[in-house]
């Protein structure tokens, strides 16, 4: 087919994902779409994929996206006339150790909270479902009847056929070599066969995602590693309706392959084969790596003895896209408003149907139709895009794929990339670090004599009593928290106020020196970000957001900023350290180090000022997120160590204590302070989340204004409710809330123990008709416990403790 001069949309990449996007765009009535592929369709990773399609994920929306895939695969053959090889045979996943069984039970409960059809099975029931199973040493299994497998090449061709039939043009052997842009928009792509002007470009180039993004001057974190599976010779022992099978403890997956068995896995020791993908790479494979596969083969033989009796017919070792957390990259970045990324999929065959649908919605409606933050391209930033770091992270993510995912486990490597100026001194004081967005952050502090290592567990870890002590220090005395990793964005210029008024729910036309807790709201009234904004001067605002939210929030601001140069939006995270000094005795400490009057009258709650602290000039914000009096000090990084030392000396008499992020989370739960994205996200309005009182829906120019005015007058279908239980149970989120024995399809959002109140506290979106009732229970790994709903925070409901 000849290349057109112009197309409304250009999709780059003819793998299963690109073809699905083209198909779904056509389905939304956008058929002026050109798909260009550098080789032939499927000639990236797709042709050699195994084709397993699993749906259950850790969040409701991701599971919804995968379910959309299965719905599409069930009917695609009928609608296009092309075979897809879809077989809805179900899937069995077994647990061969106690912790895995706990993980599966928790996952099954989470699945139930999404309304997903998942069942627990005993080892003998699992054998009935999967007759080749050896049950010795098994604890149990999950059974998902709706899962299955597909033929990846046939599926891709079916999408392509359906897209072509609707008018999409597909041009093969046509590599995109350059991307032209003007300002914040891509205007054309330049291919081997000519130049095509366009309104929208989609980067669906799998493991080439980073390379393609760079053509447009954008960085995204798509990497790639080697991945292999084998196919045995045929045997009559394989029943035609055999389900797919996973034994994560043996790190293997298995799928029937027309009378044979296909076995692959996520082993240690994979490698990144190239620094740059060879320009002319076609559908070639790597040499089989038998040593690397040997432990998988051994595990497979133990669990499925028939495998060990069969000869290997085919060996596939191919490149697979991988991101730093093994999830794909979808959406737009801060640099360009019309370059959509949909790449880096390590389970792209399973996800393509749902991802194509979401991406088409995103392009046509400006919104994917659901909160896709766990897949959002902006969850990674400059730190992840450093090649040496990305390379190690993707290998780590690969090796982690079937490891036990304990809620308190932390990434093993690479570590130490971004460090606060206090890192070393905190380490010497017992800090046990976790990592977020490349930052090392102190989770908790091991007191002298205690090993500064945390055991991974689903239960209470060895850190529990020490986190409790930190919690109590803040409630009863004073704590200091290093929150340097918080992302900070400055918005300046004559148009700064208008931009903040457009994007934030609260009225930000406040006097310089005011601090406002608010949400950035999208056109649907959904919460894009939860931030504190300080008006530092008439034309200068400081926005403080979560450690991993900076790129996301900055993009949202830029997308809504005028392009007349009247506003500058700048990430200033690295310039400023942050220390939070909080607790009833915080004032006693900071007053010793400053000429500034920190009293309530002179320095009111939710105000900010330039101040001195020790020998440093600082920005002092009278805010904390722990429900006690305190200040957040923004300190130029080079002064951080000096200020910290002086705080410790000044606070010695008050018993000042280092406090980590875990204690902060427990403190905020007692105050019912919702956290983005755990409790609130772009699917939730401030009214649903209990944040409506801070919103000014009638504010002129507010992007979310029309949506909010409508939402204000409606009863939300679900509302964020806060609960507690005094049961001796450890919750992490993902549990199920029930009422009077009825499943409310309400999954727990965030959960943790509150040491002051001595209960476990959690949040969930509950259907409006049940939100004000009683007789609640929470189901944790299959067991139910009584729970109480609370209208007000359990600790200091009147907010008296904010005063000094």
Q: Quick one: which segment of 206-214, 536-544, 667-675, 702-710 binds ligand FAD (CB under 6 A)?
A: 206-214
Region of 178-186, 201-209, 636-644, 698-706 interacting with ligand FAD (CB under 6 A): 201-209
Q: How far is CA 52 from CA 57, 83, 105, 149, 251, in A?
A: 14, 16, 22, 4, 15
CB of 353 to ligand FAD, least distance (A): 11
C-alpha 343/C-alpha 44 separation (Å) is: 12
Say if CB 102 and CB 91 are below 8 A apart.
Answer: no
Segment interacting with ligand FAD, rule: CB under 6 A, options 117-125, 200-208, 366-374, 784-792: 200-208
Q: Is 50 in the site for ligand FAD (CB under 6 A)?
A: yes
Q: How far apart are CA 244 and CA 350, in angstroms?
A: 13
> Distance (Å, rounded) from C-alpha 439 to C-alpha 303?
40
Taking contact as CB under 6 A, which single stretch among the options 6-14, 373-381, 442-450, 713-721 is the one that binds ligand FAD?
6-14
Euclidean distance between CA atoms 549 and 530, whole angstroms? 9
Question: Counting contacts by CB under 6 A, is residue 52 touching ligand FAD?
Answer: yes
Of the pair 273, 690, the CB lying nearest ligand FAD is at 273
The 209-238 contact track toward ligand FAD, x by CB under 6 A, reads: ---x--------------xxx---------
Q: Are the CB atoms for 32 and 22 separated by under 8 Å?
A: no
Site residues for ligand FAD, 327-346, by CB under 6 A, read 343, 345-346
> Which residue in this structure is represented by tokens 């299994």?
141
Question: Considering the rule CB under 6 A, would residue 56 count as an interface residue with ligand FAD?
Answer: no
> What DSSP assignment string belongs to 392-458?
HHHHHHHHHTTS---TT----SS--SB--TTHHHHHHTTEEEEEETTEEEEEEEPPTTS-S-----S
- Residue (of 395, 433, 399) closest to 417 by Cα position: 433
Compute the distance between CA of residue 751 and CA of residue 734 in angstroms, rounded to an integer.
Answer: 9
Structure tokens at 152: 């990846």
- Bridge partners, 571 (sequence order): 489
Please identify which residue in 8, 74, 119, 175 interacts with ligand FAD, judged by CB under 6 A: 175
Residue corresponding to tokens 């905190």:
426
Q: Is 680 in the site for ligand FAD (CB under 6 A)?
A: no
- Determine, following the binding rule CB under 6 A, whether residue 318 of this chain makes contact with ligand FAD: yes
User: How far is 798 from 804, CA to CA, in rounded Å?
Assistant: 15
Q: Is 109 in the site for ligand FAD (CB under 6 A)?
A: no
Out of 9, 10, 11, 15, the residue judged to bind ligand FAD by CB under 6 A: 15
Nearer of residues 268 and 424 to ligand FAD, judged by Cβ = 268
If binding is defined by CB under 6 A, does position 748 make contact with ligand FAD? no
Binding segment (CB under 6 A) for ligand FAD, from list 313-321, 329-337, 643-651, 730-738: 313-321
Is there binding between residue 434 and ligand FAD (CB under 6 A)?
no
Q: b vs e for 717-739, b when ≥16 Cβ sit within 10 Å of the residue's Cβ?
A: ebbbbbbbbebebbbbbbbbbbb
Stretch that binds ligand FAD, among 199-207, 503-511, 555-563, 675-683 (CB under 6 A): 199-207
Contact criterion met (CB below 8 Å) for 686 and 504? no
By CB under 6 A, name the one of 11, 25, 49, 663 that touches ligand FAD. 49
Q: Does 744 bind ligand FAD (CB under 6 A)?
A: no
Q: If you count them, how many residues does the chain have? A: 804
Q: Which of residues 18-37 bind ligand FAD (CB under 6 A)?
A: 18, 36-37
CB of 385 to ligand FAD, least distance (A): 18
Residues 611-650 close enough to bind ligand FAD by CB under 6 A: none
Using the minimum distance from each CB to ligand FAD, give the nearer residue, 285 or 648.
285
Binding flag, residue 67, ligand FAD (CB under 6 A): no
Q: Considering the rule CB under 6 A, would residue 102 count as an interface residue with ligand FAD? A: no
CB atoms within 10 A of CB 392: 18
**Residue 349 sits in the site that holds ligand FAD (CB under 6 A):** yes
- Binding ligand FAD (rule: CB under 6 A), the pick from 10, 11, 17, 310 is 17
Task: Give 598-631 as a DSSP string.
Answer: -STTTS-TTBEEEEEETTEEEEEE---SSSSSEE
Examine residue 751 and tell whether it contacts ligand FAD (CB under 6 A). Answer: no
Tokens of 207: 């493991």
Nearer to ligand FAD, 253 or 406 (CB): 253
Q: How near is the Cβ of 250 to ligand FAD at its closest, in Å?
A: 17
Q: With binding defined as CB under 6 A, does residue 324 bind ligand FAD? A: no
* Residues 616/601, Cβ–Cβ less than 8 Å: no
Q: List the one residue out of 313, 311, 317 whose CA is nearest residue 265.
A: 317
Q: Is 131 helix (H, G, I), strand (E, B) or coil?
A: coil
Q: How many CB atoms lie within 10 A of CB 287?
A: 8
Using CB under 6 A, which of 163, 304, 320, 616 touches ligand FAD?
320
Does residue 662 bind ligand FAD (CB under 6 A)?
A: no
Q: Shortest gap between Cβ of 174 and ligand FAD (angstroms)?
A: 7
Q: Does 385 interact with ligand FAD (rule: CB under 6 A)?
A: no
Q: Does residue number 431 form part of the binding site for ligand FAD (CB under 6 A)?
A: no
Decide whether 326 or 487 has the Cβ nearer to ligand FAD: 326
Contact between 148 and ligand FAD (CB under 6 A)?
no
Q: Which of 350, 397, 499, 794 binds ligand FAD (CB under 6 A)?
A: 350
What is residue 796's DSSP assignment? -
Question: Which range binds ligand FAD by CB under 6 A, 314-322, 369-377, 578-586, 728-736?
Answer: 314-322
Count residues binding ligand FAD (CB under 6 A).
43
Q: Which is nearer to ligand FAD, 17 or 542 (CB)?
A: 17
- Among the listed ranges 16-24, 303-311, 432-440, 475-483, the one in contact with ligand FAD (CB under 6 A) is 16-24
256 binds ligand FAD (CB under 6 A): no
- Indicate whether 160 belongs to the interface with ligand FAD (CB under 6 A): no
Name the residue with tokens 């609640």. 776
Integer Rg of the chain from CA: 27
Kindly state the smallest distance separating residue 361's Cβ from ligand FAD, in Å: 18
45 binds ligand FAD (CB under 6 A): yes
Q: Does 16 bind ligand FAD (CB under 6 A)?
A: yes
Q: Which of 111, 243, 256, 321 binds ligand FAD (CB under 6 A)?
A: 321
Instruction: Report how far apart the first and last C-alpha atoms of the chain are (Å, whole number).
Output: 73
Cα 124 to its chain centre, rounded Å, is 36
Nearer to ligand FAD, 262 or 480 (CB): 262
* One of 110, 316, 536, 656 touching ligand FAD (CB under 6 A): 316
State which of residues 208, 373, 406, 458 lies at the interface with ligand FAD (CB under 6 A): 208
14 near ligand FAD, judged by CB under 6 A: yes
> 184 in helix, strand or coil?
coil
- Least distance between ligand FAD and beta carbon 189 (Å): 8
SS3 labels along 671-740? CCCCCCCCCCCCCCCCCCCCCHHHCCCCCCCCCCHHHHHHHHHCCCCEEEEEEEECCCCCCCCCCEEEEC
152-165 and 60-80 are packed helices; what angle lies between their axes, rounded to 10 degrees?
70
Beta carbons within 10 angstroms of residue 558's beta carbon: 18
Binding mask 257-296 for ligand FAD (x = CB under 6 A): -------x--------------------------------
Contacts for 601 with CB less than 8 Å, ≥ 6 apart: none
The Cα–Cα gap between 278 and 211 comes to 12
* Interacting residues with ligand FAD (CB under 6 A): 12-18, 36-39, 43-46, 48-52, 175-176, 204-208, 212, 227-229, 264, 316, 318, 320-321, 343, 345-350
């Amino acid at each position: 087919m000849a290349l057109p001069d112009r197309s409304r949309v250009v999709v780059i990449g003819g793998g299963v994902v690109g073809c699905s996007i083209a198909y779904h765009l056509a389905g939304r009535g956008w058929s002026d779409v050109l798909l260009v592929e550098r080789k032939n369709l499927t000639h990236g990773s797709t042709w050699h994929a195994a084709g397993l399609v699993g749906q259950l994920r850790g969040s409701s929306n991701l599971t919804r996206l995968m379910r959309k895939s299965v719905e599409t695969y069930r009917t695609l053959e009928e609608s296009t006339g092309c075979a897809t090889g879809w077989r809805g045979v179900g899937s069995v996943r077994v647990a061969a150790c106690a912790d895995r069984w706990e993980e599966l039970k928790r996952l099954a409960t989470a699945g139930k909270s999404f309304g997903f059809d998942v069942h627990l099975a005993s080892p003998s029931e699992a054998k009935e479902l999967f007759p080749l199973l050896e049950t010795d040493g098994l604890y149990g299994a999950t059974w998902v009847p709706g899962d299955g497998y597909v033929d990846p090449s046939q599926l891709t061709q079916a999408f392509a056929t359906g897209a072509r039939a609707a008018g999409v043009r597909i041009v093969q052997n046509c590599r995109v070599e350059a991307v032209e842009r003007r300002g914040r928009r891509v205007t054309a792509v330049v291919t081997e066969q000519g130049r095509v002007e366009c309104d929208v470009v989609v980067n669906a180039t799998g493991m080439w995602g980073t390379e393609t993004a760079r053509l447009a001057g954008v960085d995204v974190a798509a990497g790639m590693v080697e991945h292999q599976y084998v196919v045995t010779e045929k045997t009559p022992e394989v029943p035609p309706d055999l389900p797919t099978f996973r034994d994560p403890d043996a790190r293997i997956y298995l799928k029937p392959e027309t009378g044979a068995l296909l076995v692959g896995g996520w082993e240690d020791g994979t490698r990144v084969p190239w620094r740059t993908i060879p320009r002319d790479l076609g559908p070639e494979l790597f040499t089989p790596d038998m040593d690397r596969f040997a432990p998988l083969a051994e595990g497979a033989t133990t669990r499925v003895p028939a495998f060990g009796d069969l000869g290997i017919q085919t060996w596939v070792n191919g490149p697979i896209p991988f991101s730093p957390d093994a999830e794909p990259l979808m959406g737009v970045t801060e640099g360009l408003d019309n370059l959509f990324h949909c790449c880096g999929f390590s389970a792209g065959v399973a996800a393509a149907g749902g991802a194509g649908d979401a991406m088409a919605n995103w392009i046509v409606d400006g919104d994917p139709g659901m909160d896709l933050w766990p897949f959002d391209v902006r969850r990674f930033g400059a730190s992840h895009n450093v090649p040496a770091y990305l390379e190690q992270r993707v290998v780590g993510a690969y090796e982690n794929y079937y490891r036990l995912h304990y809620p308190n486990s932390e990434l093993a490597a690479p570590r130490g990339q971004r460090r606060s100026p206090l890192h070393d001194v905190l380490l010497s004081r017992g800090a046990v670090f976790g990592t977020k967005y490349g930052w090392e952050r102190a989770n908790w502090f091991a007191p002298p004599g205690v090993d500064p290592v945390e055991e991974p567990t689903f239960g209470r870890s060895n850190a529990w009593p020490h986190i409790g002590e930190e919690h109590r220090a803040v409630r009863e005395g004073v704590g200091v928290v290093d929150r340097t990793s918080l992302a900070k964005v400055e918005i300046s210029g004559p148009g700064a106020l208008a931009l903040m008024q457009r994007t934030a729910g609260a009225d930000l036309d406040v006097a310089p020196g005011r601090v406002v807790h608010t949400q950035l709201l999208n056109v649907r009234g959904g919460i894009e970000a939860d931030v504190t904004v300080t008006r530092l001067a008439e034309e200068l605002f400081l926005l403080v957001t979560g450690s991993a939210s900076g790129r996301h929030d900055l993009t949202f601001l830029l997308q809504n900023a005028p392009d007349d140069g009247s506003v500058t939006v700048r990430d200033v995270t690295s310039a400023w350290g942050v220390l939070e000094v909080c607790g009833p005795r915080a004032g006693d400490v900071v007053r010793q180090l400053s000429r500034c009057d920190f009293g309530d009258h002179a320095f009111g709650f939710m105000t900010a000022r330039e101040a001195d602290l020790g020998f440093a000039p600082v920005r002092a914000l009278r805010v904390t997120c722990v429900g006690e009096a305190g200040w957040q000090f923004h300190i130029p990084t080079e002064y951080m160590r000096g200020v910290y030392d002086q705080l410790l000396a000044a606070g010695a008499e008050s018993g000042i204590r280092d406090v980590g992020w875990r204690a902060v989370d427990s403190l905020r739960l007692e105050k019912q302070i919702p956290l983005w994205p755990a409790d609130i996200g772009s699917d939730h309005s401030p009214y649903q989340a209990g944040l409506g009182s801070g919103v000014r829906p009638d504010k002129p120019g507010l992007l979310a204004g029309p949506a909010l005015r409508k939402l204000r007058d409606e009863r939300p279908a679900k509302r964020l409710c806060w609960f507690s239980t005094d049961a001796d149970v450890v919750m992490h989120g993902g549990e199920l809330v029930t009422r009077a024995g009825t499943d409310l399809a309400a999954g727990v959002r965030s959960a943790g123990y509150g040491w002051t109140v001595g209960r476990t506290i959690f949040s969930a979106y509950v259907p409006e008709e049940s939100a004000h009732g009683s007789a609640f229970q929470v189901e944790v790994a299959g067991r139910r416990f009584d729970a109480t709903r609370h209208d007000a925070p359990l600790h200091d409901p009147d907010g008296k403790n904010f005063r000094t």
